[in-house]
Amino acid sequence: MNSSHLSSQRLRWVGTVLLALVALYLLYFAGLGRFPLTDADEPVYGQVAQEMAHGDWLTPHREGQLWFDKPPLFYWLTAATTVLLGAGEVASRLPSALMAVALVLLVYALAAFDFGRRTGLLAAVVMATCLQQIVLAHAAVTDMTLAAMLLAALYGVRRWLAADQTRSRVGWALLTGAMVGLATLAKGPVAMVLVGLTLVVHLALTRRLDRLLSLDAVGALATCLVVAAPWYAAMYLLHGEQFVEGFLVANNVTRFLEAEHAEQTAGWHSYFLNVPVLALYFLPWSVFLPQSVAKMGRATEGARLVLTWGIVVLVFFSLSKTLLVTYIFPLFPAAAVLVGAWWGRLEEGDTSLRRGLSWGLGVGMGMAGVIVVALFLVGRTKFPGVQVAGTVLGLILLLGPAGALVGGLRRPLSQASRSLWLVPGAMVVFTLWLVFVIMPLASPWVSLKPLLDRLPPDSSAQIVSYRFNRESLSYYGGGRVGFVDDPQEVRRLLEGSAPVFVIFQDRDAEKIQVSGSTVWAREGRWKLVTNGAGARSGRGS
């Protein structure tokens, strides 16, 4: 191999790395602080982390009260970024963005181990550009952290199964245990259940259940307990039944057995709701998932393992009475590995996949078309002012499969497979439009920050909210906002001589109307009114 060829390879490698870094920045980091923390979850996590950063790093608190909604791992990460960057949107979301990058790299490693580096790259691209990955990377919630820890554990399992030397097996087993422990600190004992079920099912299918009795498997369990148990033990010793009932029972067992929203489990169809969730939130790649499972699901032991993982996660959370669209996100990396393997086979020239490619792109165009109409209607009825931009967002989603279909139509399979790169390219544009256009426009409807920003900055006026409480009120209000349910009390405040600002929804305007009050600001569906004293104090500031 001559020096010019080596230089060309090195240059190509450097170009690929630079392109990947730019793509990851645009997908996950650009505009993290462009829009406020959105109700209902983001302000809660931001508040808990902010209080932890300036107080107790062991026990989560919210507004000074014990908060056992989730274990501490995500709070720790966000508290650390808060200390480094200061409280705000970037600090709250940065851990999720970093975990999104980790998830992409883990998908690459898992796919590359069984199918080679090219397929690893394709699988990583699939994972990086699916819809829920993009959304959760910009959200201050625990789901991305949980998924990254679980995938690291699954990668450890895969390497443990393939290891042929004792030292190597022990090392991978211990890594698996540590990652399951961290996942347990990210979400709860469900992490041990999911990994344990997957391992038992996979080993049973491959007739190797005896490996569960090996010393390295026992070491993995011990490592998991060493990582996770100290915090759980500390919480029980410090808070006793309050921790057991508030976290282990209410936020784990009860959520699984009883629906938080009863309409979710009103009938037998609720057990199948995660199927459309997967189809929608794994876009634009979900249209290729059925054929990827059929073609690649049993191609290697790694493919069988990720398929088992995906089925276990899907079935487990489909049996849960509480259903959230983020629950099945941990199976998305498994889906990405299989779709990446299918795409790799396509690039290798497997002509049997040609029809499936065209069919998938056609279905993708159809689904994107439905989304365009849905975004137009939702924007018109619920988000005035976002209607046009939302429709454009749907059209961007449509451009990927449409461009790939036209680009590969009646062309050799090698060119058709290359045209598929238009799909992730469109998702980068989709992300930038979502972050820099849609979310800032939608902010007044998903957060109270735009309205609170309209308050006089130096006013000492009383601030109250009438008949509703939103998490963003607490986070951005800094504890200044009181809550009143009685309309007579609100009228009394507005008729008084002390300056007051009242936040309320449009539908409640008639109940609290007072002569002489002034509409100070309006953002989204909320209004801010004040009395004469408040108006004078605002103008004075």
* 3 state SS for 411-445: CCHHHHHHHCCHHHHHHHHHHHHHHHHHHHHHHHH
| Residue-wise pLDDT tens digits, 171-192 | 999 999 999 999 999 999 999 9
Residues 6+ apart with CB under 8 A from 491: 512, 514
Which pTM was predicted?
A: 0.93
pLDDT at 133: 97
Contact 43, 452 (CB under 8 A): no
pLDDT at 402: 92
pLDDT at 266: 55
Task: With H, G, I as helix, E, B as strand and everything else as coil, classify residue 20.
Answer: helix
| Residue-wise pLDDT tens digits, 497-538 | 888 899 988 888 888 877 778 888 899 889 998 887 777 766
Domain coordinates in residue numbering, the chain: 27-348, 373-444, 449-540
| Under-50 pLDDT residues of the chain | none
* 3 state SS for 181-242: HHHHHHCCCHHHHHHHHHHHHHHHHCCCHHHHHCHHHHHHHHHHHHHHHHHHHHHHHHHCHH
Whole-Å CA distances, 140 to 24, 30, 72, 96, 328? 18, 15, 14, 6, 18
pLDDT at 278: 96
DSSP one-letter code for 253:
I
pLDDT at 458: 73
pLDDT at 66: 92
pLDDT at 265: 58
Count CB neighbours of 373 within 10 A: 11
| Residue-wise pLDDT tens digits, 398-432 | 999 999 888 877 777 777 788 899 999 999 999 99
Count CB neighbours of 216 within 10 A: 20
pLDDT at 457: 80
Residue 514 region by backbone torsions, left for phi larger than 0, else alpha for psi between -120 and 50, else beta: beta
40 preceded by a cis bond (ω within 30 of 0): yes
Contact 532, 516 (CB under 8 A): yes
